[in-house]
Amino acid sequence: MTLTALWTPDALEAATGGRWTGARRPVSGASIDTRTLGDGDLFFAIRGEARDGHDFVAQALHKGAAAAVVNEEKADALSAAGPVLAVPGEGADPVLTAMERIGRAARARSDAQIVAVTGSVGKTGTKEALRHVLSGQGATHASAASYNNHWGVPLTLSRMPQDTRYGVFEIGMNHPYEILPLTRMVRPQVALVVTVEPVHIEHFASVSAIADAKGEIFAGLEAGGVAVINRDNPHYARLAAHAMASGAGRIVSFGEHPEADVRAKRIVLRPDLSVVDAVVMGEPVTYKLGTAGRHSALNSLGVMAVIHSLGADLAAAALSLAALSPPVGRGERTALDLPGGTAWLVDESYNANPASVRAALATLAGIETGPRGRRIAVLGDMLELGPTSPDLHRGLAEAVEAARIDLVFAAGPLTRNLYEALPVSRRGAVAETSADLVEPLTRILRPGDAVMVKGSNGSRMGRIVEALKGRYAAAHTRRESIVAIP
């Protein structure tokens, strides 16, 4: 099989100021992880928090990497393993600096229309919805998974083929001024802020400060670009001020607010889908959305606002949203084959914060259970919430009651605050770790139940998902669009 060249050796040398040792080969992809590296990839030996990529150069080349980008100081020692591009020692990590330069070169050579997406909640699901919609209208390149940080963004840029028509980049942060250099690297024509919520509040003085950090995304807009902002969010005016201070040519708002440019007139919620009756810049549009939950429906308005801002086909986008499915760990629905019948598992284990947990609980409330079936929420600690974290966990008790959740299983010392705030009738079990909940949960599970698992990444709630799938996943396991939030 012939691999399509993503970068020529000369282009890589010009972008990085590096020098080649060994064979000069074109590369077909880019990677920083030998576990997912493909044949023909360029391996960036970046320095991580725990490991140095230079320790894996030989392994990467053995697995089929076309070449490795390494620090000039280590090039001679590594050249025996195969082709390397030695880059000068600039910055805290010269290889990361080189990857940023290649990312900028990819952006400079591209005529693609670029979208940047951020938000406290929903950015990955919205990015995936944009990828899904735009892929039907032209060659589309988008961030893999949640590659939205200081290495994920330049890596995604470096992977962008020159003939890309649409690029969709997710940009995240957990501290001020992290978005600024990334959006200037991406240089979007359209920048979308999905919403602002008290997420990563541990690192901010207030939610207004979070809004200011999200507003940094507009600083990278190309001159005359479009800022797309959630009109329902209480920080709309603050975000709009950031947009007006940037190179934005106009602001497009979305939501249920009567003044929103892209407005939902009616949202019909079903257990496994939604129907949205909207007005898009004065044009009536009705579409079916393959994901459930009011939050997903509202985020789809942001998608439609972006599509209109790009000048893409609005009708085709509306039709394609019916086939949308959630990203991994954000709503996958799996049939569990129990003795005597089937239960359903909803995997929301990727991440959690107060807003996304409330949304997931509300969606669980809409899932139909079987005879004698119960709605069971398995929740882990929400992290990076600062000194008010116990209160924020405890405050979810009202959402549990409103969603008519029958049982709550709680993992972690923070989620214990919620557990103890619930009436005894709603308490399933509480444990220090997610692994400790597997047995109590499997003991009570019965046909007809609907089980939703959610928590911050550090809570390791995915262990519970994998344990349930390993024991009970049926042959008719399927992906269904339940919810698309982080």
> Is 485 part of any domain?
no
**Domain check: are 350 and 395 in the same one?**
yes
Instruction: Judge if 198 and 120 occupy the same domain.
Output: yes
Residue 115 and residue 17 share a domain:
no
Give the model's confidence band at 2: pLDDT under 50 very low, under 70 low, under 90 confident, else very high: low
Q: Rounded to whole angstroms, how far apart are CA atoms 53 and 382?
A: 31
- pLDDT surpasses 70 at 283: yes
Shared domain for 400 and 423, answered yes or no, is yes
Over residues 240-263, mean pLDDT: 96
Do 165 and 257 share a domain, yes or no? yes
Q: One-letter amino acid identity for 338?
A: L
Across 194-349, the runs of DSSP E, i.e. the strands, are 226-230, 250-255, 262-269, 274-280, 283-289, 332-338, 341-348
Band (pLDDT 50/70/90 cuts) for residue 482 is very low
Q: Which of 242-256, 269-283, 324-338, 369-383 is least confident?
A: 324-338
Is 354 in contact with 375 (CB distance < 8 Å)? no
The DSSP bridge partners found for residue 27 are: 7
The pLDDT-based confidence of 479 (bands split at 50, 70, 90) is: very low
| Same domain for 346 and 313 | no
pLDDT at residue 345, as a whole number: 93
pLDDT digits (tens, 9 = 90+) for 186-200: 999 999 999 999 888
Average pLDDT value for residue range 348-370: 90
* Residues 319 and 345 placed together within one structural domain of the fold: no
Q: How many structural domains are present in the chain?
A: 3
pLDDT tens-digit readout, 411-427: 999 999 999 999 999 99
Same domain, 159 and 226: yes
Pairing of strands 283-289, 274-280: antiparallel
Query: pLDDT above 70 covers what percent of the chain?
Result: 96
Please check whether residue 483 lies inside any domain of the structure.
no
Alpha helices in 72-144 (DSSP H): 72-78, 94-109, 123-135
For residue 414, give its domain range: 332-472
The CA distance from 212 to 252, in Å, is: 18
pLDDT at 52 over 60: yes
Specify the pLDDT at position 473: 75
What ranges make up the beta strands (E) of 130-259? Answer: 140-142, 166-170, 190-193, 226-230, 250-255
**Do 314 and 341 belong to one domain?**
no
Domain boundary among 96, 122, 148: 96
**Residue that terminates a domain, selected from 280, 296, 323:** 323
Distances in Å between the Cα of 374 and the Cα atoms of 395, 409, 438, 470 are 22, 13, 17, 21
- List the structure tokens of 192: 């979308």
3 confidence band (pLDDT: 50, 70, 90): low
Task: State whether 185 and 298 are in the same domain.
Answer: yes
Segment 212-220 mean pLDDT: 98
Asked whether residue 344 is assigned to any structural domain, the reply reads: yes
Q: Are residues 304 and 453 in the same domain?
A: no
φ/ψ of 55, rounded to 5, equals -70, -10
* Mean pLDDT for the stretch of residues 285-307: 93
Cα distance between residue 481 and residue 289, in whole Å: 9
Within this chain, do residues 134 and 258 fall inside the same structural domain, yes or no? yes
Mean pLDDT of 81-91: 92
CATH of the domain at 218: 3.40.1190.10
CATH code of residue 350: 3.90.190.20
How buried is residue 169: exposed, middle or buried, by Cβ count under 10 Å (0-12/13-18/19+)? buried
As a whole number, mean pLDDT of residues 389-402 equals 96
Choose the weakest-confidence range: 56-60, 72-76, 157-161, 324-328.
324-328
Which of residues 73, 96, 119 is at a domain's end? Answer: 96
Query: In the block, which residue shows the tokens 């070169």?
Result: 105
Residue with tokens 């950031």: 242
pLDDT at residue 476, as a whole number: 41
**pTM of the complete model:** 0.85
Q: Does residue 327 have a pLDDT over 80?
A: no
- Which pair of structure tokens corresponds to residue 95? 């290889």
